Amino acid sequence: MKKTHSKALLSFFFFFCVTILFTEMGMAENISIPVNVGVILDLDSDLDGKIALSCIEMALSDFYATHGDYKTRLVLNTRDSMKDVVGAAAAALDLIKNMEVQAILGPTTSMQANFVIELGEKAQVPIISFSASSPSLTSIRSPFFFRATQNDSTQVNAISALVQAFGWREAVPIYIDNEYGQGVIPYLTDALQAVDARVPYRSVISPSATDEQIVEELCKLMGMQTRVFIVHMYGSLGTRLFSRAKEIGMMSEGYVWIMTDGLTADLLSSPNPSVTETIQGVLGVKPYVPGTKEIRDFRDRWKRKFQQDNPFIIDAELNIYGLRGYDAATALALAVEKSGTKNFGFRKANVSRSSSTDLATDVSLNGPNLLQALSNTSFKGLTGDYHFVKWQLQSSAFQIVNVNGNGGRGTGFWTPTKGLVKQLVPSNGTNSTSLSGISTVIFPGDTTGAPKGWGIPTKEKKLRIGVPVKSSFKQFVEVKKLPSSNTTKITGFCIDVFDTAVKALPYDLPYEYVPFAKPDGEPAGTYNDLVNQVYLKNFDAVVGDVTIIYTRSLYVDYTLPFMESGVSIIVPIESHTTENAWFFLKPLTWDLWASSLVFFVFFGFVVWVLEHRINGDFRGPASQQAGTIFWFSFSTMVFAQRERVVSNLSRVVVIIWCFVVLILTQSYTASLSSLLTIQQLKVGDAKELVNKGEYVGYQKGSFVLGILLGMGFDKSKILAYNSPEECYELFSKGSGNGGIAAAFDEIPYIRLLMPKYRSKYTVIDLSFKMGGFGFVFPKGSHLVPEISREILNMIEGDKMKDIQDKWFGDQTSPDSSTSVPSNSLSIKTFWGLFLIAGIASLLALIIFIVMFVHQEGRVVLRPSDSTTSIWSKIRHLFSIFNQRDFTTHIAVNDQNGIHFPSMGTASPMGFSAHTDFRGHPSSTGCDSSPNSQTPQDVVINADQLTNPNLEVPVKENQKSNVNQQTLTPTDQRWNAVIHQRSKSY
């Protein structure tokens, strides 16, 4: 019994010890590792800071409630930056050096973050800001800075899509003058330009601006035409801006206000109802956060907690900053756990003793690990999928809200892929877009009609319209001074067109005409000077006969042209006197006459060379041969040549030359007919005027002067005229006598000038086509499309024609079709033909010479004959060329009979004493004595051809010179052929 009792005591003791051991082990396992993290927010007077801090605290409470097994626990060390950059930097330095925090949540603004990021970089402490959205922070490129919010540059495309959807062509950004405001402006400007919207002005508001300064800037905006404003600033300054804008009447009908996402979140979450009342009709963009059940539950819990912690703040609303703070704290808690439980300390960096500061002398040992863990952290947060890409959250859809009633009413969405859509419709677990567009928007002034985006400046009750002062062509614009009433009356075609277009506008447009004149009534400058007044903002527009040209369009905008325009030349008409004895020479220029003559002689010479040895028609005395050359070549003009050509080379040359002659004769005939039937012009074209150095005229003050100088005219030879009468007077004097040879002017003025002088002058069209007459407005003016539409409507209807008939009558356009240029045909027109004919003739001549020298020069020019000079040999070649060649197979008819092919100049029955069978000098030499007889050609008369019994007469001396025994086989064959042919006859 006693033993049993001992065993029970021992078992109880063992069980007790084991229980204590496991209890100690469990307590050891449940001990968490505290990790210091910093929080830098504007907490003193900023509601958003208090909201964000409460959300961060709830995020850690919720996170560790569901992750009780995590070994790390974040310990918040909160600091108030007091809305100051230095305060934020000091708070960050204190947290890093004294509290050795592993990361910092915050700060609030972009300017504060700019300093804090540098400290975090040196201490290798990650900085996670969920409200610093300026794009300029990206340029720092610090791997220890994580942007847990949208970059402001991601919203500019949503804003530009709104501007484009409503057709607004201009927008003025109004932004705070600090890093937050300036950072987004370059991106916004580029996005607006991408949708063809211009930024004519940038309104910068100082963060410390007084109400009077804000009103002064707003009044400046009222003095402009643009009525679309994009506001990018903090909520406190934005509230004051809209309040002052409402006081001076800028929150009324016709104005458009668009808020960026930061200002939209600040003002719509404001508990002050007067703020919402002030911004009625304003459009805003904000990141889209789906209204999930988790957010609704969290909003209810947060509201109860926030009310308990801040009993004096009533009706505070959860905003996007609170939601992003909640997700940022969750991401940091996950990353700290992933980075491990070691190395949460700091090490001292080696610094020089001479350093005057100890900034960032402490370096976090866990910083690189935490940096890697944050980069790889991803989860489903309250604001959606949470994941850092290149140290910042990716852009998502934006919601378009319209402030109406007690808050913002959603009117649509913008997505990077679909643009503006009315709603996001979930389909198969993914988001897709419905029909594009947005719902009806209620703009300031409680109107649903989209404002035009521009208006008449309130400071200038009337537009100042500049008009030119003209002393001629007053049908376009005429400025009359009325002495009786001391007023100015402005009339004309251009005035009527503008008045009619303005009256058709759906709104009232007050304006007044201001003559562009000196005090004495004379024009104050050229048309270029007048257009420049619009660029200099001395005039709001210019109405008159102003031509649309490229150089002017660089500085101003034009409406659609209401009258066509272009530059043409007025030239005198010349009537030819057909009684002139040398009139027949006019169709061709002197160079073409001379060239034709040279080619005629050259062609005849080439044919003579090719035919001289084988064609009896081209032989005979020297005078006969020269006459044949000229006769044959010139007879080809009428194709009356009787001489036959037997050489193939000659035939090729003649065929080509006949084609050239055909073209020449037909062209001469056509040109002569034109000269006899049509009145000609004294001037052919502008180039002829430049080359001859003629004097020309232009209308004074016109841009035509620049065209003339560009064409190469000497400025001293350009005269100006003010009226058609002065132009006619200059023509009457003549060029060189104080007058002009031609006048350059625009087609509308020529239409007025030509009816009076049509019998004496005509028009040559130029290639200078202009854009026509148009009204001038400043760059980007919204009156340009409005007036252009009305001008187009007038042109398509009868209004424009009625105005034209009123001022010009039934004017026809200047017609130059009845006049043709008086240019005679020149060598430039036919040089191609002459080139072909010349090359063909030269080639034929060269081929003949090469063949002749090759055939005859082997004996005459043989190098073994050293006793004979080269010149003698060449003369001998010419003498051979002058002899008849019977070695060819061609038989040519002449007046004495038929020549048969023979050996050189020998008779058909033998060889001469001077040449061998190929016409070369014989072995006995060439006897040039006067007593030597020249062998005669063998001629068979017609009687001999018909009577075969008749013998061919052969002279005795010829017979005696022929030794049949010395003939070569070839010679014997030639004699046999000739004898056989004689017998056949």
Residue 434: its pLDDT value, please? 39
Q: Which helix (H) or strand (E) holds 680?
A: strand 680-681
Is the separation of the CB atoms in 275 and 284 below 8 Å? Answer: no
Q: How far is 408 from 281, CA to CA, in rounded Å?
A: 9
Mean pLDDT of 495-510: 87
**Mean pLDDT rounded to a whole number for the chain:** 78
Residue at token pair 């530059």: 567
pLDDT class of 748 with cuts at 50, 70, 90: confident
Highest mean pLDDT pick, 648-657, 694-703, 829-838: 694-703
Considering only residues 949 and 337, tell me which one the structure prediction assigns the higher pLDDT: 337
Distance in angstroms (rounded) separating the CA atoms of residues 581 and 423: 93
Give the pLDDT of residue 341.
73
Find out whether 137 and 193 touch, Cβ atoms under 8 Å: no
Integer Cα distance of 726 and 346 in angstroms: 96
How would you class 865 by CB atoms within 10 Å of its CB: exposed for 0-12, middle for 13-18, buried for 19 or more? exposed
Q: How confident is the model at residue 93 (pLDDT cuts 50, 70, 90)?
A: very high
Which residue shows structure tokens 């603004």?
109
What does the alpha-carbon distance between residue 453 and residue 55 come to, in Å, rounded to a whole number?
41
For the CA atoms of 863, 865, 870, 874, what is the dihedral angle to 10 degrees?
A: -100
Kindly state the tokens that stand for 668: 């001469």
- pLDDT higher than 60, residue 12: no
Q: Three-state SS string across 6-23, please?
A: HHHHHHHHHHHHHHHHHH
d(CA 288, CA 384) in angstroms, rounded, equals 9
User: What value does the mean pLDDT take over residues 2-11?
Assistant: 53
Buried b (16+ CB within 10 A) or exposed e, 491-521: ebbbbbbbebbbeeeeeeeebebbbbbeeee
- Alpha-carbon distance 504 to 494, whole Å? 16
Backbone dihedral region of 390: left (phi > 0), alpha (psi from -120 to 50 degrees) or beta? left
760 band by pLDDT with thresholds 50, 70 and 90: confident
More confidently predicted of 473 and 539: 539
pLDDT above 50: residue 266:
yes
Whether the pLDDT of residue 27 is over 70: the answer is no
Q: What are phi and psi of 908, to 5 degrees?
A: -60, -20
pLDDT given for residue 803 in this prediction: 92
Highest mean pLDDT (candidates 312-326, 337-351, 668-682): 312-326
User: What is the pTM assigned to this prediction?
Assistant: 0.57
Q: The tokens 């006793």 sit on which residue?
A: 867
Whether the CB-CB separation of 945 and 985 falls below 8 Å is answered with yes
CA 649 to the chain's CA centroid? 58
Q: What is the SS3 assignment for 825?
A: strand
* Poorest-pLDDT segment among 304-318, 358-372, 531-545, 891-905: 891-905
Give the residue, 657 or 584, on which the prediction is more confident.
657
pLDDT tens column, 961-974: 444 444 444 445 44
Q: Could you tell me which residues are beta bridge partners of residue 175? A: 204, 232
3-state secondary structure of 573: strand
Look at residue 303 and tell me whether its pLDDT is greater than 80.
yes
* 74 SS3 class: strand
Q: 840: which residues sit within 8 A by CB, 6+ positions away?
A: 652, 653, 656
What is the rounded average pLDDT of the residues 909-919? 37
Q: Comparing 393 with 674, which gets the higher pLDDT?
A: 393
pLDDT at 747: 84
Most confident of 551-565, 903-917, 929-943: 551-565
**547 close to 565: Cβ distance less than 8 angstroms:** yes
Least confident of 487-501, 554-568, 739-753: 739-753
pLDDT band with cut points at 50, 70 and 90 for residue 14: low
How many angstroms separate the most distant Cα atoms in the chain? 190
Contact 35, 102 (CB under 8 A): yes
Question: What's the pLDDT band for 83 if we cut at 50, 70, 90?
Answer: confident
> Average of pLDDT values for 470-474?
82
Whole-number Å distance between alpha carbons of 147 and 144: 10
Q: Is the pLDDT of residue 895 over 70?
A: no
Mean pLDDT on 17-25: 46
- Kindly state the helix (H) or strand (E) to which residue 687 belongs, with its residue range: helix 686-692
Check residue 254 and report its DSSP letter.
T
**pLDDT computed for residue 130 by the predictor:** 92
- 368-407 pLDDT per residue, tens: 999 999 999 999 999 888 999 888 888 778 999 999 988 8
Q: What is the pLDDT of residues 737-746, one digit of tens each?
A: 788 888 888 8
- Selection from 175, 165, 163 nearest residue 228 by Cα: 163
Kindly tell me if the per-residue pLDDT of 527 is higher than 50. Answer: yes
Q: What is the mean pLDDT of residues 682-708?
A: 81
Which of 115-124, 227-236, 327-336, 943-952 has the least mean pLDDT? 943-952
156 within 8 A of 184, measured Cβ to Cβ = yes
- Side chain identity at residue 122, one-letter code: K
**Which one-letter amino acid corresponds to residue 428?**
N
Q: Give the CA distances from residue 778 to residues 515, 531, 542, in Å, rounded to whole numbers and listed in that order.
A: 18, 10, 10
Angle between the 493-503 and 783-796 helix axes, to the nearest 10 degrees?
Answer: 110
CB atoms within 10 A of CB 64: 16
Residue 867 has a pLDDT of 64
> What is the pLDDT at residue 345?
84
- Cα 325 to Cα 43: distance, rounded to the nearest angstrom: 14
Least confident of 5-14, 382-391, 624-633: 5-14
- pLDDT for the residue numbered 752: 80
